[in-house]
Amino acid sequence: SSNAMWGGRFAAGPDAIMEAINASIGFDKRLAAQDIAGSRAHAAMLAAQGILRDSDAEAIREGLLTVLSEIESGSFEFSTALEDIHMNVESRLKEIVGEPAGRLHTARSRNDQVATDFRLWTRDQIDAAIGGVEALIRALLVQAEAGADWVMPGFTHLQTAQPVTWGHHMMAYVEMFSRDLSRFKDARARMNESPLGAAALAGTSFPIDRHMTAEALGFDRPMANSLDAVSARDFALEFLSNASICAMHLSRFAEELVIWSSAQFRFVTLSDRFSTGSSIMPQKKNPDAAELIRAKIGRIFGANVALMMVMKGLPLAYSKDMQEDKEQVFDAADNLMLALAAMEGMVKDMSANRPQLAAAAGSGFSTATDLADWLVRVLDMPFRDAHHVTGSLVALAESKNCDLPDLTLEDMKSVHDAITDEVFGVLGVDNSVASRMSYGGTAPEQVRAQVARWKEVLG
Ligand code: ARG
């Protein structure tokens, strides 16, 4: 049989394969609440503008609430023959309220309908992402405040570089995640315009009020160009880009947790609640949550690339290609929220191994730069010469299989005879971090100031 929505033009129904490739209901049922909110706003506007009788609009708006409750309770029967969420909802509305249901689609198309639904859905996800990132930042601030003066090695090339503080390391991620936060907020402000009323592509001859529906749906304003309104998916791509960058940050931190929780590092202990065991090796406690977070960037950035490829080269206005937008965004959003929540949980639960961090901070000639700086400050040496002298002292310590503070004053003098025993004061890791008082440096005082600033920002 031919389709109830456009049967007038068709003598035969679709092939089974046509139905399979065409239907989106399997996934766009997730837009049900947004679709119904959009239709309710549209019906109210049509009535207010005298395009629809008040009694019809009321029947439609009531009937849509019934449909929503059926969907929420799980009693709604989705039909693949009805293609998508829009036609599933409308068809059920017809069963419930009869003739007025056929008047709802006046001055509207599925093209502006789906663009509206998808913007509303993506907007909710942006809000959820903002909440998730904020919660993670709060968890990091707790760690940073507790460990503002716990020394640990800082790395470049994953080789010991200079001592830093645990708090400073945590606060580096606070900065990164706070930029993710502002990217999500930017995207939200930019995308919060209503496509509804663009109709198929050209607008409509009915005297609609797009400002009214925009306001009812929490949009700041209607989109200014009807072709753009039904064609644009950059709001989804912007969400995916921001999600990708955020997932990349999560992945870097996750990688550090994997390394730090290894028997070789022992910098942190992850909680049992966020670890798993092995079915064969009884001693194992694996950082699976961190590993999975590390992997999420793969599918999230994959979604970003996939949708970019779908959209490139599409002529205006709507093409069915665009139906492929939703699964990418759904999957990326689901996995970003999961990764954020898992990371927040891990950060809340994890405990730093202070003695091990301190021991590691002092090894690997981590205070060599402090020694060079001392030669500059006290002996008035040019930095390049100080670098060379310090390098020789490191080589000497390495040959004696000891660290810099273990060298004797005679050892020091054998390399440069003006060195005095005052130098040993700068070789300790606590002095090293305390001395890095430059703005944004690792000194505990600086870290505490940044923690206080962020607490105030977040309220
Ligand atoms: N299911 C479609 C989508 O997801 C809805 C819009 C269909 N519009 C059309 N003209 N076929 O994009």
pLDDT in tens, 322-362: 999 999 999 999 999 999 999 999 999 999 999 999 999 98
Task: For residue 188, give the nearest of 112, 125, 113, 114 by alpha carbon.
Answer: 125
Q: Are 394 and 367 in contact (CB under 8 A)?
A: no
ipTM: 0.97
Residue 113 Cβ contacting ligand 1 at under 6 Å: no
Q: Is 278 a catalytic residue?
A: yes
In 10 A of CB 420, how many CB atoms? 12
Choice from 27, 114, 314 to test ligand 1 binding pocket (greatest atom count within 8 A of CB):
114
Q: Which pLDDT band, with edges at 50, 70 and 90, does 276 fall under?
A: confident
- Calpha distance 443→370 (Å, rounded): 14
Q: Is 157 a catalytic residue?
A: yes
Six token digits for residue 91: 């068809």
Distance between Cα 235 and ligand 1 center (Å): 17
Q: Which pLDDT band, with edges at 50, 70 and 90, does 2 fall under?
A: low
pLDDT at 77: 97
pLDDT in tens, 123-166: 999 999 999 999 999 999 999 999 999 999 999 999 999 999 99
Q: What is the mean pLDDT of residues 245-254?
A: 98
- Calpha distance 314→307 (Å, rounded): 12
pLDDT in tens, 15-66: 999 999 999 999 999 999 999 999 999 999 999 999 999 999 999 999 999 9
pLDDT at 9: 84
pLDDT in tens, 194-235: 999 999 999 999 999 999 999 999 999 999 999 999 999 999
pLDDT at 283: 85
Residue 325 Cβ contacting ligand 1 at under 6 Å: no
Q: Are 377 and 423 in contact (CB under 8 A)?
A: no
Q: What is the mean pLDDT of residues 303-317?
A: 98
Question: What is the model's pTM?
Answer: 0.94
Q: Which pLDDT band, with edges at 50, 70 and 90, does 7 fall under?
A: confident
Q: Which pLDDT band, with edges at 50, 70 and 90, does 402 fall under?
A: very high
Buried b / exposed e along 89-116 (16+ C-beta atoms within 10 A): bbbbbbeebeebbebbbebbbbbbbbbb
